[in-house]
C-alpha cells in the first residue's frame, strides 16, 4: 500500500495533469475538424506548460500532435523535428506513443521519396510494437510497409501485407484506414502501369470514403489519373476538376501541387495549353513551398527533386508548345527558369563559401558512415544491397539536422545569367522529353529555345556513339557527326560560335562525351574540343551562385593518390591481417603510381604523393586540410550495389585489413577547400561500368564538400605513362586563375595532334570538367 506521502504526490500529479490532458483532447477535436492552426496552438501551449520531467509523457504527446498538424500542412521539416522531440520524451514513459511517432516519421520520409529512411523507421516501429504485444497500430504498420515493398517491386509481399492490413482495419471499423489501404494498393499498381489491377482498389477506396463521409480529394485525383492513363479524357477532366475544387481544404497529406499537375496533364491531352500552363504555374509555386519545407537532409532534398521534376518537365512542354504557337518570348524565359529551378536544387543548398565556418558533425555521424562502408563492402562481395539501405537510412537520420537552407532563385534568372556570362560564352541547357526535347541557348545578347527529337531518339544515338568511341569502331565519325547535328544543329550560329560552352545536361546526356563529338565531318574531322572549351555545370543556377562566391586562394600543392594496396598478395601488405567480409580483393594498379609521378613532374611545384599504405582516408584528409590546389585520385572506382548505383572510391587496405571506401555520402559532408579534384582510375574493377549518372554523383559529392571543380572520366582509359595528365597539369599550372576546363581542352588537343593511339577519341574523349571553373587562384 502506498504511504500517505506517495498518495499526496499521486494526487498532486493527477491535479496537474488533468487540465493538460483535457486541452490535449480539445486540440484533438480541432485536429479532426481539420482546424490545424488552432489545434497546433493548443498543442504548443500544452508542451510549454509541461516542462516538469514528471510530465514528459504529456509533453511528448503534445509535440507529436503538433507534428501531425505540421505534417498535414506540408511543413515537413518542422514536423520531423516535432516527431523527434516527441519520440525522445515518450521513450521512457509511453512506449506505445513512440510507435506513433516512428510511424509518422516513416510516413513523412516516404512522402519525400526517401524510402530507405522510411523503411528503417518503420522496421523500428514494428519491432517496438511486437514487444508491446498489443494489436493497435498493426494495420498502419503493415499498410506502410506494404507501400514501401511495392515501391521496391516486391509486389507479392506487398499484396499480402495490404490484405492483412485491410482485414484488420475492417474488423476494427477504422474506415479511414480501410480506404487508405485500398488507395495505396491501387496507386502502387497505377505507378507500375498496371491499369486493370489498379481499377478495383481505387474504386473500393472511393466507395469507402463516400459511404463513410470521408474526404474525397485523393480519390478524385487518383481515379482521374487512372482515367487519363486509360484514355478517358472526359472522365479524367471531370474527376480532377472536383479534386482541384477541394484543394482549398487541407484534407490529407497529399500535396496539392500534385493535383494541379494531374489536371494540367489532362488539359495538355485536350490541347488546352493556356489552361494547362495556369495549373502548372500554381503547381510549381506550391511545389516550391513544399521543397522548402522538406527535412534538411540531402537525401530527402534529392528525393523531392525527383518528384518535382515531373511538374517542371510538364511546364516546359506546355510553355514551349505554346511559344511555338504564339511566339510569346516571355514563355522562353519562363520555361528556362522552370527547367533550371529544380535541377541541382539540393546541391545548391550545400554550396558554401570556403570562408564559411560550420559546426563539426557529431561522432555518431561518422560512426554511421563506418557502418555504411562495411555495408558497401559486404554488398560488393555478395550483391546484397539491403544492408546498404539500412546503413544509409541511419546516415539520413543524423543528416536531417545538418542541412543548409535552399536559396530561392533570382527574380529574373535569365537576366542574371546573361549579365554573368562573358561575351565568348554560351550556356546550353538541355531537357529530354518523351515526345519532344529542348535546348535553350543563352548568351549576353539573349535567349532562345530549340526543339530536339524525343528522348528515345537522343538516347539511341548517344548509345551508338558511346559504344563506337569506346570500341574504336570505324563508323564512329559519321555517328558522332550525326549526334552533334541532332543536339546542336538547330541552334543559331550566334550561340554555337562561342569559344566556351557551359552545358547543363539531362538524363542520358550525362553519359555523352561532348568534347569528342565531331563538329565538322571531313577528311580531317574537327572535334568539338578543338573549337570550344566545354564545361559541364550541375545547373545554370548553381553556376550563377558559384560565380558570386569569393575567389579562393589555395596552396600551390598537388596531392596525388595512387598505387594503393588493394589485396594481401601485394608484398607491401606484409603484416596486414585478413579483413574477412570487410575486404574486397582488387588488383594492384601499378601504372597509377607512374601516373601520379608524371602528374607531379608536370605540375612543377610542391607535391605530396600518397601511395601504398599512405593511400588512406586518414592521410588524404590530412592533406585536404592544407587547401591543396589539386587532388589527383588514381584509384579503383567501384559501382555500388545500391539502386540507383553510384560510384565508390577504393583506397588502401586499412591496418586491420579492411577495404577503405569513400562514398558520396561521406565526401559530401567533408568541409574542405580545394581547386580541382581529378578522378582517374579503373572503372571495371567491380565488373560493371559506371553509368554517367553514377560518376556525376561522385562529382556532385566533391563539389558539395568544397571543391571548385572536378575532372572525371566516363570510361576506363588507363594512361599508363600519364601523358594526358602531364599535359593537363602543365596547362593548368600555367593558367591564372586556374582554368581546369581550358587546361583539359588544351591537353585533349595535344593528344589529337600527337598522332598514334593517343590521338583517337577513345583515349582522350572520356574526360570532362564539372563545376565552377576559372576562379581558383594560386599564390
Q: Which of 101-105, 322-326, 407-411 has maximum average pLDDT?
A: 322-326
What letter does residue 511 receive in the DSSP assignment?
G
| Mean pLDDT, residues 436-443 taken together | 96
Per-residue pLDDT band at 298 (split at 50, 70, 90): low
pLDDT (0 to 100) of residue 164: 92
Place of cell 557502418: 371
* Percent of the chain clearing pLDDT 90 (strictly above): 45
Residue 355 has a pLDDT of 45
C-alpha to C-alpha distance for 730 and 728, rounded to whole angstroms: 6
Distance of CA 301 to the CA centre of its chain: 6
- One-character DSSP codes across 619-653: HHHHHHTT-EEEEEEEEEEEE-SSSS--EEEEEEE
pLDDT of 754 over the 70 cut: yes
**Helix and strand totals (H; E) in the chain:** 32, 15
How far, in Å, CA of 647 to CA of 589, rounded?
Answer: 18
Query: In whole angstroms, what separates CA 406 from the centre of its chain?
Result: 14
Which residues is 712 bridged to in the sheet? 768
Q: What pTM, to 2 d.p., does this model score?
A: 0.84
Max Cα separation, the chain? 105
Vertex 330: Cα angle to 326 and 331 (nearest 5)? 65
Most confident of 36-40, 374-378, 696-700: 36-40
Chain centroid to CA 766: how far?
Answer: 24
Distance CA 283, CA 265 (A): 12
The string of DSSP codes covering 662-687 is: E-HHHHTT----EEEEEEEEES-TTS
Task: Assign 419 a pLDDT band (cuts: 50, 70, 90).
Answer: very high
Of 101-110, 506-515, 575-584, the one with minimum mean pLDDT is 575-584
Q: Which of 256-270, 474-488, 734-748 has the lowest mean pLDDT?
A: 734-748
The pLDDT mean for the chain works out to 84
Q: Which residues contact 197 (CB under 8 A, 6 or more apart)?
A: 189
Q: How confident is the model at residue 692 (pLDDT cuts 50, 70, 90)?
A: very low
Check: CB of residue 141 under 8 Å from CB of residue 122. Answer: yes
Q: Which of 277, 261, 267 is nearest to 238 (CA)?
A: 267
The answer, yes or no, to whether residue 357 has pLDDT greater than 70, is: no
Task: Report the percentage of the chain scoring pLDDT > 70.
Answer: 83
Q: 688 falls in which pLDDT band (50, 70, 90)?
A: very low
- Residue 760 CB: number of other CB atoms within 10 A? 15
Q: Provide mean pLDDT across the span 342-353.
A: 65
| Digit-coded pLDDT (tens) for 444-469 | 999 999 999 999 999 999 999 988 88
* pLDDT tier for residue 752 given thresholds of 50, 70 and 90: very high
Residues 592-644: tens digit of each pLDDT: 999 999 999 999 899 999 999 999 999 999 999 999 999 999 999 888 877 66
**Res 354: pLDDT:** 44
Nine cell digits for residue 396: 539520413
- The pLDDT tens digits of the residues spanning 646-670 come to 788 999 999 889 889 998 888 988 8
pLDDT per position as a tens digit, 498-548: 999 999 988 788 888 999 999 988 878 899 999 999 999 888 888 888 777
User: Can you give the pLDDT at residue 686?
Assistant: 35
**If pLDDT is split at 50, 70 and 90, which confidence band does 426 have?**
very high
CA 369 to chain centre: 18
What 3-state DSSP class applies to 451?
Answer: strand
What structural domains and CATH numbers belong to the chain? 1-114 (1.25.40.10), 220-315 (1.25.40.10), 413-541 (3.30.420), 552-771 (3.40.50)
Burial of 707 (0-12, 13-18, 19+ CB in 10 A): buried
Rounded CA-CA distance 27/61 in Å is 11
User: Which of 145, 139, 141, 129 minimizes the C-alpha distance to 165?
Assistant: 139
pLDDT of residue 365: 63
pLDDT at 689 exceeding the cut of 60: no
Tell whether the model's pLDDT for residue 75 goes beyond 90: no
Q: 119 versus 529: which is more confidently predicted?
A: 529
Residue reference for cell 483535457: 22
Report yes or no: 216 and 210 within 8 Å, Cβ to Cβ: yes
Question: Over 60: is that where the pLDDT of 405 sits?
Answer: no
Residue 573, CA atoms < 13 Å, CB-side half-sphere: 22
Mean of pLDDT values over 182-194? 93
Which residue is it, cell 590530412? 622
Average pLDDT over residues 70-82: 83
Tell me: pLDDT of 1 over 60: no
Name the least confident of 185-199, 675-689, 713-727. 675-689
Residue 433 in 3-state DSSP? coil
Mean pLDDT of 296-309: 70
Report the half-sphere exposure of 484 (CA within 13 A, side-chain side).
21
- pLDDT band of 773, cuts 50, 70, 90: low
Cβ neighbours around 489 below 10 Å, total: 13
Residue 495, pLDDT > 90, answer yes
pLDDT in tens, 550-565: 667 889 999 999 999 9
Tell me the pLDDT tens digit for each residue of 127-172. Answer: 888 887 666 778 888 988 998 888 888 899 999 999 999 999 999 9
Taking only the tens place, the pLDDT of each residue in 41-53 is 999 999 888 888 8
Distance of CA 719 to the CA centre of its chain: 32
CA distance 92 to 83: 15
Confidence of residue 25 (pLDDT cuts 50, 70, 90): very high
Kindly tell me the burial class for residue 671, based on how many C-beta atoms sit within 10 Å of its own C-beta (0-12, 13-18, 19 or more). middle
Amino acid at each position: 500500500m502506498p504511504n500517505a506521502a506517495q498518495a499526496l504526490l499521486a494526487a498532486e500529479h493527477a491535479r496537474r495533469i488533468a487540465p493538460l490532458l483535457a486541452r490535449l483532447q480539445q486540440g484533438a477535436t480541432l485536429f479532426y475538424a481539420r482546424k490545424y492552426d488552432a489545434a497546433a496552438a493548443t498543442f504548443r501551449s500544452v508542451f510549454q506548460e509541461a516542462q516538469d520531467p514528471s510530465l514528459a509523457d504529456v509533453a511528448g504527446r503534445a509535440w507529436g500532435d503538433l507534428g501531425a498538424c505540421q505534417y498535414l500542412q506540408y511543413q515537413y521539416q518542422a514536423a520531423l523535428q516535432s516527431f523527434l522531440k516527441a519520440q525522445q520524451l515518450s521513450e521512457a514513459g509511453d512506449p506505445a506513443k513512440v510507435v506513433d511517432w516512428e510511424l509518422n516519421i516513416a510516413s513523412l520520409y516516404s512522402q519525400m521519396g526517401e524510402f530507405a529512411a522510411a523503411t528503417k523507421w518503420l522496421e523500428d516501429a514494428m519491432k517496438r510494437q511486437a514487444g508491446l504485444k498489443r494489436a493497435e497500430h498493426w494495420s498502419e504498420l503493415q499498410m506502410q510497409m506494404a507501400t514501401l515493398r511495392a515501391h521496391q517491386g516486391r509486389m507479392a509481399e506487398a499484396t499480402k501485407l495490404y490484405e492483412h492490413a485491410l482485414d484488420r482495419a475492417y474488423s476494427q471499423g477504422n474506415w479511414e484506414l480501410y480506404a487508405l489501404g485500398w488507395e495505396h494498393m491501387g496507386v502502387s499498381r497505377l505507378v507500375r502501369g498496371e491499369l486493370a489491377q489498379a481499377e478495383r482498389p481505387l474504386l473500393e477506396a472511393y466507395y469507402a470514403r463516400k459511404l463513410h463521409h470521408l474526404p474525397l480529394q485523393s480519390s478524385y485525383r487518383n481515379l482521374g489519373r487512372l482515367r487519363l492513363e486509360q484514355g478517358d479524357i472526359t472522365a479524367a477532366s471531370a474527376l480532377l476538376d472536383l479534386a482541384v475544387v477541394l484543394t482549398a481544404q487541407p484534407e490529407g497529406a497529399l500535396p496539392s501541387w500534385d493535383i494541379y499537375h494531374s489536371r494540367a496533364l489532362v488539359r495538355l491531352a485536350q490541347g488546352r495549353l493556356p489552361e494547362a500552363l495556369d495549373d502548372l504555374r500554381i503547381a510549381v509555386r506550391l511545389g516550391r513551398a513544399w521543397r522548402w519545407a522538406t527535412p534538411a537532409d540531402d537525401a530527402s532534398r534529392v528525393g523531392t527533386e525527383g518528384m518535382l521534376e515531373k511538374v517542371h518537365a510538364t511546364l516546359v512542354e506546355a510553355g514551349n508548345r505554346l511559344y511555338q504557337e504564339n511566339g510569346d518570348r516571355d514563355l522562353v524565359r519562363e520555361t528556362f527558369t522552370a527547367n533550371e529551378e529544380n535541377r541541382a536544387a539540393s546541391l545548391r543548398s550545400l554550396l558554401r563559401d570556403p570562408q564559411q565556418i560550420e559546426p563539426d558533425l557529431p561522432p555518431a555521424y561518422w560512426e554511421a558512415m563506418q557502418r555504411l562502408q562495411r555495408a558497401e563492402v559486404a554488398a560488393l562481395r555478395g550483391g546484397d544491397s539491403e544492408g546498404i539501405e539500412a546503413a544509409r537510412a541511419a546516415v539520413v537520420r543524423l543528416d536531417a539536422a545538418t542541412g543548409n537552407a535552399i536559396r530561392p532563385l533570382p527574380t529574373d534568372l535569365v537576366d542574371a545569367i546573361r549579365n554573368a556570362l562573358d561575351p565568348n560564352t554560351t550556356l546550353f541547357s538541355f531537357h529530354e522529353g518523351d515526345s519532344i526535347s529542348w535546348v535553350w541557348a543563352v548568351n549576353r545578347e539573349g535567349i532562345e529555345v530549340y526543339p530536339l527529337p524525343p528522348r528515345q531518339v537522343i538516347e539511341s544515338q548517344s548509345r551508338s556513339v558511346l559504344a563506337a568511341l569506346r570500341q574504336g569502331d570505324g563508323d564512329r565519325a559519321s555517328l558522332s557527326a550525326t549526334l552533334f547535328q541532332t543536339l546542336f544543329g538547330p541552334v543559331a550560329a550566334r550561340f554555337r560560335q562561342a569559344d566556351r560552352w557551359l552545358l547543363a545536361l539531362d538524363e542520358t546526356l550525362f553519359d555523352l562525351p561532348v568534347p569528342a563529338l565531331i563538329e565538322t565531318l571531313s577528311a580531317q574531322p574537327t572535334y568539338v574540343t578543338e573549337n570550344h572549351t566545354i564545361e559541364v555545370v550541375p545547373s545554370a543556377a548553381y553556376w550563377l551562385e558559384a560565380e558570386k562566391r569569393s575567389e579562393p586562394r589555395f596552396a600551390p600543392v598537388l596531392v596525388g593518390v595512387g598505387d594503393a594496396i588493394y589485396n594481401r598478395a601485394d608484398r607491401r601488405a606484409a603484416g596486414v591481417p585478413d579483413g574477412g567480409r570487410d575486404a574486397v580483393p582488387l588488383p594492384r594498379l601499378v601504372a597509377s603510381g607512374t601516373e601520379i609521378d608524371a602528374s607531379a613532374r608536370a605540375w612543377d611545384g610542391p607535391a605530396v604523393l600518397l601511395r601504398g599504405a599512405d593511400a588512406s582516408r586518414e592521410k588524404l584528409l590530412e592533406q585536404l586540410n592544407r587547401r591543396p590546389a589539386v587532388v589527383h585520385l588514381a584509384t579503383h572506382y567501384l559501382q555500388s550495389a545500391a539502386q540507383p548505383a553510384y560510384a565508390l572510391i577504393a583506397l588502401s587496405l586499412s591496418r586491420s585489413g579492411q577495404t577503405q571506401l569513400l562514398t558520396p555520402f561521406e565526401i559530401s559532408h567533408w568541409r574542405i577547400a580545394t581547386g580541382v579534384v581529378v578522378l582517374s582510375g579503373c572503372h571495371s574493377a567491380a565488373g560493371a561500368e559506371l553509368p554517367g549518372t553514377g560518376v556525376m554523383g561522385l562529382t556532385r559529392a566533391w563539389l558539395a564538400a568544397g571543391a571548385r571543380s572536378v575532372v572525371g572520366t566516363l570510361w576506363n582509359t588507363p594512361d599508363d605513362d600519364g601523358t594526358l595528365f602531364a599535359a593537363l597539369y602543365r596547362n593548368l599550372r600555367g593558367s591564372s586563375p586556374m582554368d581546369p576546363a581550358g587546361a583539359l581542352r588544351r591537353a585533349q588537343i595535344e593528344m589529337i595532334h600527337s598522332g598514334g593511339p593517343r590521338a583517337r577519341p577513345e583515349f582522350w574523349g572520356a574526360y570532362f570538367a564539372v563545376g565552377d571553373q576559372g576562379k581558383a587562384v594560386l599564390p
